[in-house]
Structure 1
Amino acid sequence: MTEVVCRRMLKHEDEDSPEKCRERRRRRIEMRRLAASSPPLTPSQNHRKENPNWADCSVESKRIRTAENSDLQVATAATSSSSPSSSGDYREASSEPERKPVFGTMSVAGRSREMEDSIAVRTRLCRPEISGRRSVHFFAVFDGHGGPHVAALCRERMHVFVEEELKRVGLRGESESGSGNSSSKEEHDDEEEEEEGLEERWRRVMRKSFERMDAIALTTCACGSVGYKCGCHLVEVTLGGSTAVVALLTPDHIVVANCGDSRAVLCRGGVAIPLSQDHKPDRSDEQARVEAAGGRVIFVNGARVEGILAMSRAIGDKYLKPFVTSEPEITFTKREPEDECLILASDGLWDVLSSELACDVARECLREVTPAPDAAIDLNSGPRIEDEGAGALYPSRSVLAAALLTRLALGRKSFDNISVIVVDLKKS
């Protein structure tokens, strides 16, 4: 009886041996795949037979196959381990490292007696969910009036509010908003509707940020005290204000929010594309809005709200509310390969230079040229200093573009403060 059982067991092992061989072959193929994707985790092919732990590796491979249940899931787990999520929104961030934007700034008092402009730049401000966890870069120009107080306050606080609002809104909208509406939109596969929903969330972020900034500007004294508890009673606190043009740069889009007569211009394929419109009181729609709020547009050395302010929208200006609003106009622009540069500047530049001329000058400065002789200065060499004027005279071509635009405005007898930001989109 014992001999019969042994014969049956031997026969059963002989019948299963081809299947076991095929299983071992599949394990070896899978281990080769894993070795190609992550060499440190598996032994090399040259030492497979000599390595005593090769059997353990085969067992571990079988264990992985059982847990993942397919070769596709194993490959997905291996490739997505370097990124925070396996969603398609992260494919660009994982495939290619993000580069810091190349930009140049210049801000001068010019022929004005007091410097009231401010510039704010925050590269890699945050990585919110709305941008697919990719970096958002912040650029802003603030042109103060009635004193530098509000412009300086915007420089210190605006990016903070924008960052907080970006972190609050999710990729599919805020959690506080109606979940029914968001879920119904998610059911649609139309890309245009998804793009419109994304644009609306960016607009909500910028509107809320400007609203919070205006509230702080109306309740903060120039000395830093909130609620006027300091007793300074400075005139500039109640009469002061500032324009604000803010640009958020992502790998896919350019979001610009403008309040006042500062301006943002995109140079695309040699063509100047305005990303903002100046809020002048004599603009037909702005004049209608001011008059509907009970205000007047009086022409005193140009169109002015109540004969005082030469712009119809601004942050601050407590005594001109609600005629002067802080609500920004927002543009949402998809980036294209033809984009060359982005220019943000105060009205000290735009009063004497057209958008087309500014783009022509900037793109000439940013254009790559053939290597100069050894005696010439290479503007692309050496450390790049974006915000400071130290080091080389013009440490980058974007700094050269900002400086040349400023000099042109001064040469054309601009009497206002001049502040310029030039972002090289080809290298950003």
Structure 2
Amino acid sequence: MEEEEARCFLGRFVEEFPAALEEGSPLPVSPLSRKVSLDELHGESLELGLKLLAARGAPAGLSALLCQAALSQLLQNDLSPFHCSQEADSQEEEQQVVLLQSEAVQRLFINKLIDVALTWHQNFPKPPPSPSQFLRCSVHAIKNTRRKMEDKHVTLAEFNQLFGIQDGVERAYYAVFDGHGGVDAAIYAATHLHVALSKQETLQRDAATALKSAFKYTDDIFRGKAKRERLRSGTTGVAVLIQGQELTVAWLGDSQAVLVRKGQAVTLMDPHKPDREDEKQRIEDLGGCITFMGCWRVNGTYAVSRAIGDFDQKPYVSGDADCSTTQLSGDEDYVLLACDGFFDAVKPSEVPHMVLDALQRSGDPEGGEDAPLEQSEDTVGLRVAQQLVGQAKAAGSTDNITVMLVFLRPPQQLLAQNSTTVPAKATQDSTSQDAPQQ
């Protein structure tokens, strides 16, 4: 994080917010919920703060530090004045859940954020060390022909800064969630899964166990919200944690992650689908069934066999994530995360060719009218995800499509190592440079 850039932003921010928000004044950003449980307060506050700061162009590292400091102060407050009164028709088990008035408690959080910004503007603190390895990330998502956009994604290179972790181990977190039956479950997972992960005692010594526990915890606390608010949605998800020289991936359902090393796709996972033999057996052992209704479905309903949410079909639709860990040796190119809207049209084995082709287009100063005017170490690769989404759409995908590339080496290095022109594959003739975008 550049101190001069951070100071400039703080100057602009305190000019817009020179004092705390007054009681009853509108919030500059809308809370995610009307009521929030104590378990949900951490994630929803951080999401609100990051959204507020990002909309004003805050450096990502500074945003993480500001939000972490403001949340720490919020949690030291007596929050009992914000408790919601229990409704007379609440179920007994629901009465045990303490709910807070979201708008009121988030006004307090934003005021804490403003207070921290004012203090740092006057006396800028020495920040904790920034990650020595900056991972460039290219993301693009489209609604495509679907009526609603139900995908969500998270890019968090500042994992340690956001949660105040100072153990000397660098961490970065990335995730893609593909909702169905509404976007609520996907929003919930994108808001809370990384928070749950940060609280796992096994995080430092066993990232796989920590990620699996975080998925399970997120599914469990979403159950309470779904019951309170009568939500019926679900979401698949794939999350990657890069911790030191380990890459750990955890997943539920058919969103996928692919690692590419020296231009070759490396299988990290086997997506959960109802017709996968072990998934079919698990469901049948529980007394459920798999039926074909346009596609294979669990008990004739959901086309996924594992997900966060979908509580009307638990335990047939399982909330237990699978996980794998890969040691990084330094010769890895990137890891790609995407929902099934991408992988239904693109085979994992096709990813290296498509990415290299897209990189060459992005890095070619004569790459056509859509090519960037200037190419630098910081810009090459940023448009790759957009091109991949366009290719999946051109190949016939009608679903929501989200693609995220996390470069483990600078994209310029990949171009230098593959300087010859990539020949077009017959199977990709339809995915030209002019593939339609949305």
Pick the TM interval, shorter chain. 0.5 to 0.7
CA distance in 1, matches of 2:318, 2:363: 50
- Aligned residue for 1:346? 339
Query: 1:241 offset after TM fit, Å?
Result: 0.3
Q: 1:107 to 1:372 in 2, by over 3 A?
A: closer
Spell out the pairing of 1:87-166 with structure 2 (5 A cutoff). Answer: 98-126=132-160, 133-165=168-200
AA aligned to 1:133 is G
Q: Match for 1:259 among 252, 255, 277?
A: 252
Give the structure, 1 or 2, with the largest relative contact order (CA under 8 Å, sep 6 or more): 1
Q: 1:211 to 1:133 in 2, by over 3 A?
A: same
Query: 1:361 offset after TM fit, Å?
Result: 1.4
Q: 1:97 to 1:265 in 2, by over 3 A?
A: closer
Spell out the pairing of 1:300-311 with structure 2 (5 A cutoff). Answer: 300-311=293-304
Deviation digits for residues 306-360 of structure 1 (CA, Å, limit 9, x no counterpart)? 0111111111100101111111110100112321111000000000111122221
Query: 1:378 offset after TM fit, Å?
Result: 5.1
- Aligned residue for 2:386? 403
Q: Match for 1:281 among 254, 261, 274?
A: 274
TM-score for both structures, normalised by structure 2: 0.59
**Residue 336 (str. 1) matches residue 336 (str. 2):** no
- Aligned residue for 1:50? none
The Cα RMSD (Å) is 3.0
User: What SS class does the counterpart of residue 110 from structure 1 fall into?
Assistant: coil
Query: 1:369 offset after TM fit, Å?
Result: 9.7
Deviation digits for residues 192-218 of structure 1 (CA, Å, limit 9, x no counterpart)? xxxxxx5xx222101110111101221
CA distance in 2, matches of 1:372, 1:110: 29
CA distance in 2, matches of 1:120, 1:112: 21
Q: Is contact 1:141-1:344 (8 Å) kept?
A: yes
Q: Is contact 1:298-1:305 (8 Å) kept?
A: yes
User: What SS class does the counterpart of residue 214 from structure 2 fall into?
Assistant: helix
Q: Is contact 2:247-2:327 (8 Å) kept?
A: yes
AA aligned to 2:355 is A
Q: 1:130 to 1:275 in 2, by over 3 A?
A: farther
Query: 1:373 offset after TM fit, Å?
Result: 7.6
Counting aligned pairs with the same residue, the percent is 28
Deviation digits for residues 15-72 of structure 1 (CA, Å, limit 9, x no counterpart)? xxxxxxxxxxxxxxxxxxxxxxxxxxxxxxxxxxxxxxxxxxxxxxxxxxxxxxxxxx
Q: Is contact 1:361-1:401 (8 Å) kept?
A: no
- Aligned residue for 2:222? 217
- Aligned residue for 1:177? none
AA aligned to 1:279 is H
- Aligned residue for 1:319? 312
**Residue 355 (str. 1) matches residue 348 (str. 2):** yes
Deviation digits for residues 274-299 of structure 1 (CA, Å, limit 9, x no counterpart)? 21211111111110111111111111
Query: 1:368 offset after TM fit, Å?
Result: 11
CA distance in 1, matches of 2:389, 2:354: 11
CA distance in 1, matches of 2:366, 2:275: 53
Q: Is contact 1:124-1:135 (8 Å) kept?
A: no
AA aligned to 1:287 is K
Unmatched 5+ residue regions in structure 1?
Answer: 1-93, 172-197, 222-226, 385-395
Deviation digits for residues 149-173 of structure 1 (CA, Å, limit 9, x no counterpart)? 10011111111111111xx2375xx
User: What SS class does the counterpart of residue 259 from structure 2 fall into?
Assistant: strand
CA distance in 2, matches of 1:338, 1:284: 34
CA distance in 2, matches of 1:104, 1:369: 12
CA distance in 1, matches of 2:305, 2:364: 48
AA aligned to 2:173 is F
AA aligned to 2:319 is S
CA distance in 1, matches of 2:338, 2:366: 34
User: What SS class does the counterpart of residue 216 from structure 1 fall into?
Assistant: helix
Spell out the pairing of 1:287-298 with structure 2 (5 A cutoff). Answer: 287-298=280-291
Q: Is contact 2:358-2:388 (8 Å) kept?
A: no
Spell out the pairing of 1:145-224 with structure 2 (5 A cutoff). Answer: 145-165=180-200, 168-169=201-202, 171=204, 198=205, 201-221=206-226
AA aligned to 1:358 is V
CA distance in 2, matches of 1:406, 1:373: 22
Q: Is contact 1:144-1:242 (8 Å) kept?
A: yes
Q: How many positions carry a matched residue from both structures?
A: 281
User: What SS class does the counterpart of residue 220 from structure 1 fall into?
Assistant: helix
AA aligned to 2:180 is H
Q: Is contact 1:118-1:142 (8 Å) kept?
A: yes
AA aligned to 1:322 is P
Q: Is contact 2:203-2:210 (8 Å) kept?
A: no
CA distance in 2, matches of 1:318, 1:368: 45
Q: Which of 1 and 2 has greater Rg? A: 1
Spell out the pairing of 1:47-86 with structure 2 (5 A cutoff). Answer: none
AA aligned to 2:202 is V
Query: 1:302 offset after TM fit, Å?
Result: 1.5
- Aligned residue for 1:420? 403
Query: 1:107 offset after TM fit, Å?
Result: 0.8
Unmatched 5+ residue regions in structure 2?
Answer: 1-127, 412-438
User: What SS class does the counterpart of residue 168 from structure 2 fall into?
Assistant: coil
